[in-house]
Structure 1
Amino acid sequence: MAASEALFDAVRGLTERDLVVALVCGGGSALLPAPPEGLTLAEEQALNRALLASGAPIGVMNAIRKHASRIKGGRLAAACAPARVVSLIVSDVPGDDPAQVASGPTVPDAVDARAALAMIEAWKIALPETVLAHIRSAASAAPDPRDPVFARNEVHVIASARISLEAAAARAGAQGVPAVILSDAIEGEARDVGRVHAALAREVACRNRPFVAPVVMLSGGETTVTLRGDGGRGGRNTEFLLAFAQAVDGLEGIHALAADTDGIDGTEDNAGAFADGTSAGRLRASGHDAMTALARNDAWGAFDQLGDLFIPGPTGTNVNDFRAILVRPEGHG
């Protein structure tokens, strides 16, 4: 909260001759709490807990929380007026909409309160009544992107999942492994996305279609996890990978990495994990079960048991999730 106030102090009293350069990346939503008048920090925290537990995609979460903030949704850029604002953005959102990164402190979008309320209802998000009342009120109205106050501003996306996947594909190619990029904007339930990726890996391993092994399939985006269990330790990339491991159980030649590019998957100390066709079997041999772990949202616990967590530490960047699935021809270990 002190940082949010410091930013407002820094841009107070600027003139049209001033230039503000805003460096924005994913994670900014969490680092810029600024509850509007009538709401407390505890209520903004409750809003975020409800959003994270809902399974809603990141675009929906950002669209809702910008209506319960004094700084998100372009409000910081509006506070800079009449100065010109140039935003340089490292995108961690599928589709690279700059208004979604860090809930857009310097980039407004067109999602109004009515649309935000419809999202809350559609995703059955249980928000505190005080937060709902605020979003329903005129006080929550976010800046309109067409407002002349933003006319001289510029927005540039300077890093993204697409760029990271293209770099990974080039590195694989240099090592003699053909690479295909499935998409840089995959969203959905982590376990469901994991099973779809597993089905594709099985098809390649068993039938050499739609790609011929050896091949590494790359994808990015940001999956979500709907909390179902109690007391589990997880993260969207480990949950993706646990469902993936279960679906390729017993198959040789399939190896996968799923990780968050910022080095932290959820709230634990790992970026993600590794899995292959032996993971589910090794888990059973240790007295655990993939299905039970998934039911508890305890993917972290499962991969910790196997010793297959990926813990590189914070990377200093954030362009959402990175997934690499290597399929080798049968007998090539």
Structure 2
Amino acid sequence: MILVTGGAGFIGGNFVLDWLKIPSNEAVINLDKLTYAGNLATLESLEGDSRHIFVHGDIGDKDLIDRLLVQYQPRAIVNFAAESHVDRSIHGPAEFIHTNIVGTFHLLESALAYWKSLEGSAKEQFRFHHVSTDEVYGSLSLTDPAFTETHAYEPNSPYSASKAASDHLVRAWFHTYGFPVVTTNCSNNYGPYHFPEKLIPLVILNALNSKPLPIYGDGQQIRDWLFVGDHCSAIREVLARGKLGETYNIGGWNEKANIDVVRTICTILDELKPRVDGRSYAEQITYVTDRPGHDRRYAIDAGKIERELGWRPAETFDSGIKKTIEWYLDNPAWIDGVVSGSYRDWLKKQYD
């Protein structure tokens, strides 16, 4: 079996669901702290599935990790567990340091001791897959080439700095101890089960609820957009065939300015669920003060993973965003369970 950390969050939850859709795949021990972004409702379809073992806990709890490793003897760890929202890291960086740096350190310590205890093929086949972000590379100008795996780290927010530190720890454990790691740095994910503080789900839900669609600054911040299902398939490939100690960038080959993403969402909603008054959702777009240190452009060069492992995203942005919007329209119960009082308080603090 494999151990997945952060498997009730957005990307981790999608990965667990995707992994267990394949009958031949091993069982999953799913460890999640269930912070505001962890949602067991995402995993509701796995109820009664003996291959899914959920454990409520923290990657920083070394005693718990040690017990899980001894009890279940996983052949791999896939580490999604992280605080991941830039805006929250600006308001409260301490939790990001605790989880993304200290938590990753404790997880590595436990995993290293476990790996050393293995013998023969079990030791040879073990993998630690660390899931990270393109934000560790900093910001690009409009004319700069996209990030490659050799781009210098230049994080610009508490979030990206904490993830950069975790990446360095993983690299150090490989070079110092020979610990069998692979790292992936992904671009902006979107898709089903996304907590609605991030741009795409926030815009979808605000549009449907006749609320303003907040756009930071001039809306010309450019991101590469990656459908979460494509991200999951890439992780499977890297986990299975990635070269030890290597980093693989995972991107969607879909650079879009934030304002263009929002306008695309409005156009699709105009078609799928028109406003009662017949007007366009684009009329709800509102520009708000830009956040501090907002990176202007991220762009991923995903050529290495295509050359070495044959992976390329299946979804275009147009196909992926339509699937995403349709999912939110079809799953009001999941949305109602997520949009709690604390979430509304956060939106008020951030955008008013």
TM-score (norm 2): 0.28
Q: Which has the larger radius of gyration?
A: 1
Question: If the length of structure 1 is used for normalisation, what is the TM-score?
Answer: 0.29
